[in-house]
Amino acid sequence: MPRLLDATNLPDADLVALAQEGRDEAYRELIRRYERPVFSLVYRMVRDREAAEDLAQETFIKVLNNIEKYSPEFKFSSWLFKIANNLAIDSLRRRRLDTVSIDGASGAATQAEIEATSFEIGDRSENALDEMANKELGAAIEVAIAKLRPLYRSCILLRHVDGRSYEEIAQLLDLPLGTVKTYIHRARHELREALEDTR
C-alpha cells in the first residue's frame, strides 16, 4: 500500500508524475488546484452555469484520462487551459443555431477565423445578462466580457484573469504572437467603451 501523500505543496510537474504512476491523491490535487480557474474561464466564455459545469468536467476527464501523454516541456496548466478553451469555443459554435452571428473579426482571413471571432448573442442568455447588468462594476465587467467576440474573450480572460503571458496565450490558442497582442488591445478598448457609463 503506497504511503499517504501530502500533495498540496508539490509542483504540478511532480503531481503529474505521481498521477502517471496511478496515485489517486495526485489526480484529486490537480482537480482541486484547477477546478476554480478552469470553471471560471469556461463559465465566462459560455455564460451558462450548467454548460460550464459540463465543459469543465469534460476538460478534466479528457486531460486526466490522457495524463500519460503529457509532455513535461509544457506547463500542465497551459495544456489544461488549452483544452478548456477549445471545448468552450466548440460549445459556442454548436450553439450557433440559437444565436445571431453579427460579424467576424476585421482581421479574419479564413472562414474558420471569421466563425471563431463572430459576435454571438444568445436569446436566453441576453435576458439573463440584462438582469445581471446592475450598477456594480464587477457585474458590468462580466457582462462586457460576455459581449466580446469569443477569441477576444479567451485572450482577455487568459491575460487578465488567469495572468498568462502573451507568449503562453499564443501557444495556447495556436495564434501568432502579434495577433494575440492585437486581440487583447482591441478587447481592452471594447471593454472600456462598454464600461464608460458605469465608471
Site for other proteins, rule CB under 8 A = 1-2, 20-22, 24, 27-28, 31-32, 35-37, 39-40, 43, 52-53, 56-57, 60-61, 64-65, 137-138, 141-142, 145, 156, 160-161, 163, 166, 181, 184-185, 188-189, 191-192, 195, 199
DSSP structural state of residue 157: I
| DSSP-assigned states of every residue in 47-94 | --HHHHHHHHHHHHHHHHHTGGG--TTS-HHHHHHHHHHHHHHHHHHH
Q: How far is the CB of 121 from other proteins (least distance, A)?
A: 21
Q: How far is the CB of 44 from other proteins (least distance, A)?
A: 8
Q: Who contacts 178 (Cβ-Cβ below 8 Å, separation ≥6)?
A: none
Q: Which is nearer to other proteins, 17 or 114 (CB)?
A: 17
Q: Which is nearer to other proteins, 108 or 194 (CB)?
A: 194
Would you say 167 and 129 are in contact if contact means Cβ atoms under 8 Å apart? no
Q: Which is nearer to other proteins, 62 or 101 (CB)?
A: 62
Q: How far is the CB of 115 from other proteins (least distance, A)?
A: 26
Q: Which is nearer to other proteins, 36 or 94 (CB)?
A: 36
Our measurement of the distance from residue 116's CA atom to the centroid of its chain's CA atoms, rounded to an integer in Å, reads 14
Q: How far is the CB of 75 from other proteins (least distance, A)?
A: 19
Considering Cα of 111, then 115, then 117, then 118, what sign does the dihedral take? positive
Closest CA to 154 of 187, 123, 195, 122: 187
Cα gap 164→172, rounded to integer Å: 10
Q: Which is nearer to other proteins, 100 or 178 (CB)?
A: 178
Q: How far is the CB of 68 from other proteins (least distance, A)?
A: 8
